[in-house]
Amino acid sequence: MKETKVYPQSEADQDFAKLLKNIRTEENVSLDQLAMGLMSASQLVKIENGERPINKNIRDRLLERLGIAKELYENLLDLCDFEEWDYKKKILSAIQNKKIEDAYRLLKEYKAHLRENDRINHQFILAMWGEVLKQEGASKEKIAECYRKAVILTIPDAEKVWSEKRPLSVLEMNLLLETIIYGNNMDYLHKCRVLMEYIDTGYYDEIMKAKIYPKIVYYYLKKQILFKEYWNVETQTENLKICEKAIDKLRDAGRTYYLVELLEIEMQISEIMSDDTFPEDFEKNETDRINAKELLSVIKNLYAEYKVPAYIQDCTYFYQQKWIFSMKDVLRTRREMFGLTQEQLCEGICSVKSLRRAEKGQTDMQRETLKKLLNRLGLSGQMQWSRLITSDREVIRMAEELADYINDRKFSVASKQLESLKARIDLDIPQNKQYFLEKQALLEFEQGKVTREEFVKMEKEVLECTLRAENLYRKENVYLTEQEITCIRNSWRGMEGKEKRELIDLIFRLYDNYALNNGLSQAISMYEFIAESAVNELGNNGEHVRAEEIDRKVIKASLSCRRIWDVHYNLYDILWNENEIMKKSGKRVSNDEMNTELKRCIMISHYVKRYFYENVYREKLANDRFHR
């Protein structure tokens, strides 16, 4: 694999460096603790001061040790990082598809190109080797030894983890858990409890909690059940609460990792408990209760319908990446979108020869030069960014909360949150300005303060904060940030006719190409977001068959990624489109089918705590009304 040239860290990385230092300081994490197994404390100081370059693997690991999921970030990768990611993707695919020979071959080839001190990638190889050994049916001792070797690469004093708390990524916690599961641990249950406490008392975000906590709880309770004859009322009650707590973390994140397994265990525990021993304080608020048996049936049937395994079969989901693009492709594609020649883009920045070599993937550019080129193309000079370019972790949290308020249609609360955000972000940064103005336009539209025509105009102006490409829908290839896609998607709602259809087609060409080359799992969150709006527009325009096809494609992709946020909406949309198709022949969906599907929508929307939609479906069910 190619070697990345080492360049000084540019201004474009300073927000990340500051973010790292701010979080570490806020959470009272020492330099030695955060640097553990990755680098020296002095090297970490240089990173925090913007004096040392940092590759994606180290960025991700430091972020996760500080509780921030890498899924929140978009990524532009240089030559070495992209080639590395592409190779990992092939390994993950081989393991997911149980192609053991391919996995062995790819792992050996990958290992042969690694530097000896590349601990994170050597750890990845060992983790994947452990998955292959499981598929082969190897002995527990052999599997445990593989995971033990993986753990000590980045946690050299691993035994101290159980008595001295330190920052750990979910990947590291998963490897520790695997050593417990396959090792000969007399203190199996104690160590699982320690890992649970890491999550309970830590600073991990909801996505990270959902990834690892349910798995820990599943294996903890699975072992506990072996000793159920020794349970007393207190043990029964505690185990039931632990199980419910794990499921609730999945609900908060809209995920289904180990959900089927946990629901089955919850039912086992409930069967053991008699009515008179069931804890009085266990009853939840009526609006938030989950019926394990009903939910289990709905989830298992849904997975079976879309031919996706209901049970977790490997740990590859921990390593999935999001929104990955090669810098060479982005430079070329974005330049062509802007209608610029290489000479025009380079003017006053660098030589044409340098850009030509970069676009061909022959070399990486100096970071300061690259930043200037990206800025000219309306992009952040950063290689990795979340919704907002910031060094303030609270801003990241507030943006996540704002998205939830909008999804729940709490527009007045969302408006106040947006104003609070405005005071904490730098609006001189085009990407931040675009984010703020787009959310402002959306909230004004949703609250009826502007007309559809005014809304479309506002969204077009917001898009131009970063993108001024003419005749965008006629471009063969495009590169768009998530925020730019959001602007285009929202503008559909106020458009009519040809322009709307052309923009819908543009976005789906982008995703069709992305699915072909990278797999939808890499772009699933935005794909769900786009599809929800597109199928609504297509259905309203009478394209019911195409809308239904897209809905089914999204559901399958979402289930495969263990996401279930928007599945209720997709299911209802399929039902609506089927009914519209049947109307053309003088028929309609039967009441039994309608009621069955509405109940499924109610169950899933309740699970993901989308209570606004749950109430909508309940009203339709109660009043026997069926419409958009």
- For residue range 190-235, list pLDDT tens digits in order: 999 999 999 987 789 999 999 999 999 999 999 999 888 888 889 9
Pick the range with the lowest mean pLDDT from 75-89, 144-158, 408-422: 75-89
d(CA 36, CA 39) in angstroms, rounded, equals 7
Say what the pLDDT of residue 18 is.
87
Distance of CA 489 to the CA centre of its chain: 20
In which band, very low, low, confident or very high, does the pLDDT at 515 lie, cut at 50, 70 and 90? low
> Which is more confidently placed, 201 or 236?
236
Residue range 87-119, pLDDT digits in tens: 999 999 999 999 999 999 999 999 998 998 899
The pLDDT assigned to 535 comes to: 86
Residues 458-485 have a mean pLDDT of 85
Which pLDDT value is given to residue 469?
67
DSSP 8-state code for residue 494: G
pLDDT of 482 strictly over 50: yes
pLDDT at 6: 36
Q: Based on the number of CB atoms within 10 Å of its own CB, is 268 exposed (0-12), middle (13-18) or buried (19 or more)?
A: middle
Question: What are the pLDDT digits (tens) for 261-307?
Answer: 999 999 999 888 765 555 555 554 445 668 999 999 999 999 999 99
pLDDT at 280: 57
pLDDT at 10: 37
DSSP letter, residue 521: G
* Residue closest to 389 by CA, chosen among 380, 376, 379: 380
**Angstrom distance (rounded) from CA 284 to CA 291:** 11
Selection from 20, 76, 132 nearest residue 481 by Cα: 76
- Token pair listed for 352: 């044409």
Rounded-to-integer distance, Cα 262 and Cα 243, Å: 7
Amino acid residing at 242: I
- Confidence at residue 11, expressed as pLDDT on a 0 to 100 scale: 45
Residue 4 scores a pLDDT above 60: no
Band of the pLDDT at 34, cuts 50, 70, 90?
Answer: very high
Q: Between 332 and 498, where is the model more confident?
A: 332
Each as own residue / partner, the long-range contacts of residues 140-146 (CB below 8 Å, 24 or more positions apart, any chain) are: 140/182, 140/183, 140/184, 141/182, 141/184, 143/178, 143/182, 144/178, 144/179, 144/182, 144/183, 144/184
pLDDT digit string, tens, across residues 153-201: 999 999 999 999 889 999 999 999 999 999 987 899 999 999 999 998 7
Report the distance separating Cα 389 and Cα 18, nearest Å.
11
Place of tokens 């883009």: 345
DSSP 365: P
CB under 8 Å to 555, separation ≥6 — which residues? 302, 306, 567, 570, 571
Determine contact, residues 310/304, Cβ cutoff 8 Å: yes
Question: End-to-end alpha-carbon separation of the chain, Å?
Answer: 52
Per the prediction, the chain carries an average pLDDT of 88
Q: How many CB atoms lie within 10 A of CB 253?
A: 25
- Residue 564 near residue 531 (C-beta atoms within 8 A): no
How many C-beta atoms lie closer than 10 Å to residue 472's C-beta?
Answer: 17
pLDDT interval class at 518 (50, 70, 90):
low
Token couple for 418: 């947006």
- Sign of the C-alpha dihedral, residues 476, 76, 466, 335? negative
Question: What are the residue ranges of helices labelled H in 49-167?
Answer: 56-65, 79-96, 100-112, 119-136, 140-154
**φ, ψ of residue 325 in degrees (nearest 5):** -135, 145
Write the DSSP symbol of residue 602: H
DSSP 324: E
- In angstroms, the Cα distances linking 229 to 70, 224, 241, 273 are 42, 10, 19, 12
Average pLDDT over residues 411-428: 94
Q: How far apart are CA 5 and CA 25, in angstroms?
A: 31
pTM: 0.91
Q: What is the pLDDT of residue 17?
A: 85
| % residues pLDDT > 90 (the chain) | 60
**Is pLDDT above 90 for 314?**
yes
The 10s digit of each residue's pLDDT in 354-402 is 999 999 999 888 888 998 999 999 988 777 788 888 888 899 889 989 9
Q: Is 523 a residue whose pLDDT tops 80?
A: no
Q: For the segment 443-459, what is each residue's pLDDT rounded down to a tens digit?
A: 999 999 999 999 999 99
pLDDT per residue over 553-591, tens digit each?
899 999 999 999 999 999 999 999 999 998 888 888 888
* pLDDT for the residue 281: 55
pLDDT one-digit tens code per residue, 241-255:
999 999 999 999 999
- 482 and 526 Cβ atoms separated by less than 8 Å: yes
Q: What is the DSSP letter of 203?
A: -
Q: Report the sign of the C-alpha dihedral through residues 108, 112, 114, 119, in that order.
A: positive
Q: What is the mean pLDDT of residues 121-140?
A: 96
CA angle 277, 281, 285 (to 5 degrees): 130
Q: How high is the pLDDT of residue 278?
A: 57
Alpha-carbon gap, residue 590 to 617, rounded angstroms: 17
In degrees to the nearest 10, what's the CA dihedral of 84, 88, 91, 92? Answer: -170
What pLDDT, on the 0 to 100 scale, is given for residue 7? 32
Categorize the per-residue pLDDT at 15 as very low, low, confident or very high, splitting at 50, 70 and 90: confident
